[in-house]
Amino acid sequence: MQSPPARGLRLSLLTRVFLANAAVLAIATLLLLFSPVEISYPVTENQAILLVIAFAVSLVLNIVLLRRQVAPLRRLAATMRAVEPLEPGRRVAMPRHADAEVEALTRAFNDMLDRLETERRESGRRALAAQEHERQRIARELHDEVGQVLTGVMLGLDEPDAREAVRRSLDDIRRIARELRPEALDHLGLQSALRSLCTATGAHDGLRVERRLDLGEMQLSPEVELVVYRVAQESLTNVMRHSGASEVVVGLGPVGGGLRLVVRDDGRGLGDEPAAEANGIAGMRERALHVGGRLTVTSGPEGGTEVRLDIPEPKGPR
């Protein structure tokens, strides 16, 4: 087993600050000892001017030396502020020639990010599972219990208008139940569920949906399938409600060992609305984080919006 490479001597921040101040005092002392300047009492005008100049020079020299010593801390703080919670995986790089305190602080901060991201991902998965379980329960009750009651009421009505009103209500309830928990996702898999979703979206007046779905041999876990479906569902809902688009492309397939979902439309775009807050995008970002994915939303200057979900090396079914 090879021994770790030898590390150079690392001085603490306190030691560096002490040495910087000691250097300034040493220079001032040497100047007093070996320069022809004499200080008498009372101090003459020329001597006072020299003392003021020497004091100013020592202050400037001191601040220059101290700025150099605390520069790693300033860079570390700037990098910490740049860390984005919705973009996991980003870590603070170890500064070159860092002090022992700076190195320890960097390691502690990165370890804290690891723990926070792990806990956030696990708690998010638990919350997502509980939410989907509740969705499934409500969808089943709407479809089975309320649907059966309305079907019985419709059969017992004599008026055609009343029967038609109940039938429309029954169709709405079944539609809501499908949106709460898509049966195709449970029984037929992700690709079939997305095809069904695209077909339903294409029924929207004036909207053409192009499907480019090809998972190949990629096997996905139920968690990943659910996140991909929900992101596609939310994106298509936004297209129908807000974009004014005439065409939308839904693409899904492997990219670089990972999985990529793209929903791109030719609508009016996001405009001045912050992408992180617009039309449920923050919720889609949260879902992506639960499976280690990353969601990006871009809008071109001439309109159109693209929602892209990238999931690196998604795990297969468990």
Query: What pLDDT, in 10s, does the model give residues 143-178?
Result: 666 777 777 777 777 777 777 887 788 777 777 776
Dist. CA 243–CA 249, nearest whole Å:
13
Dist. CA 107–CA 92, nearest whole Å:
8
- Using 50, 70 and 90 to split pLDDT, how confident is the model at 99? low
Range of the structural domain that residue 76 is part of: 13-118
| 156 part of a folded domain | no
Same-domain status, 220 and 312: yes
- Of 120-129, 179-188, 279-288, 309-318, give the range with the top mean pLDDT: 279-288
Return the pLDDT at 271.
66
Whether pLDDT at 237 is above 80: yes
Q: Residue 282 is encoded by which pair of tokens?
A: 């923050």
Which among 67, 102, 118 is the end of a domain? Answer: 118
Whether pLDDT at 278 is above 50: yes
| 58 part of a folded domain | yes
Same-domain status, 109 and 230: no
Which among 118, 149, 178 is the end of a domain? Answer: 118
Q: What is the pLDDT of residues 279-297, one digit of tens each?
A: 578 888 888 888 888 899 9
* pLDDT more than 70, % of the chain: 77
The CATH number that applies at residue 219 is: 3.30.565.10
Domain count, the chain: 2
Return the pLDDT at 3.
38
Q: If DSSP codes are grouped into helix, strand and coil, which group holds residue 303?
A: strand
Dist. CA 308–CA 251, nearest whole Å:
9
| 23 part of a folded domain | yes
Same-domain status, 78 and 193: no
| 136 part of a folded domain | no
| 176 part of a folded domain | no
Which among 101, 118, 135 is the end of a domain? Answer: 118
Higher pLDDT, 22 or 238: 238
| 41 part of a folded domain | yes
| 36 part of a folded domain | yes
Same-domain status, 200 and 114: no
Q: Residue 17 is encoded by which pair of tokens?
A: 């600050």
| 228 part of a folded domain | yes
